[in-house]
Chains A and B, each alone.
Chain A
Amino acid sequence: DGGITQSPKYLFRKEGQNVTLSCEQNLNHDAMYWYRQDPGQGLRLIYYSQIVNDFQKGDIAEGYSVSREKKESFPLTVTSAQKNPTAFYLCASSISGHSYNEQFFGPGTRLTVL
């Protein structure tokens, strides 16, 4: 089955630690995205990547880093510089180069900082 997987579903981190969230897709999509959702708010874009080895900052990139070494994978690292990292993180992908952009989402990872 084609889709997007995120792991782990729940993640706990101590303050001051970096943590990496996994995102894998087998849809053969070129573009991948990371969003953050906080209670009562919409999804806010952290980083996105249109092709392998290239990525751009979204609206709230501070305290986060990404890599795109493979088409299928787009891991997100939440660093200790992120002031308020507790949130629900969503990864998405879409066919790049298409102006009408439907994004497919993974199930999400809930990160809690203790």
Chain B
Amino acid sequence: DQQVKQNSPSLSVQEGRISILNCDYTNSMFDYFLWYKKYPAEGPTFLISISSIKDKNEDGRFTVFLNKSAKHLSLHIVPSQPGDSAVYFCAASAPRGAQKLVFGQGTRLTINP
């Protein structure tokens, strides 16, 4: 049972435009959400997070939006840059399993010059 889903395996965006990556979850107990970026043959690096008490968190070019009623979150990158080309994972955790993250399948983002 996939509790965190990223339904788009890949996304292609032109440099300078906005990239929007989506993530859906099914477990209503999740209260903290994170986005990680991963290059091939490397470990993921943390990008941005949001707790369920907020609906938006911004850090430079990266903004995460959370819609709790729809159980949906999205990551916006604007403007997109070639270095943003990577696989992006969303992850979620619940209070009782505070030390456990559940990851989505990932979305491969390609930024075209």
Contacts and interface: CB of A to CB of B under 8 A. Distances in A.
A110 B41 CA distance: 8
A40 interface: yes
Given A40-B9, A42-B89, A101 B41 contact: no
A107 B43 contact: yes
Nearest to A32: B99
B100 A58 contact: yes
A48 B100 contact: yes
A66 B36 CA distance: 25
B95 A99 contact: yes
Nearest to A35: B103
Interface string A92-105: 10101011111111
Interface size grouping (class) on chain A = 20 to 34
Contact of B43 (A50, A98, A101, A106): A106
B45 interface: yes
Contacts of A110: 41
A31 interface: yes
B86 interface: no
Given A40-B9, A43-B89, A101 B101 contact: yes
Contacts of B106: 40-42
A105 B101 contact: no
Interface of B: 4, 6, 9, 32, 34, 36, 41-46, 49, 51, 89, 91, 93, 95, 98-101, 103-106
Interface of A: 4, 6, 31, 33, 35, 40-45, 48, 50, 58, 88, 90, 92, 94, 96, 98-108, 110
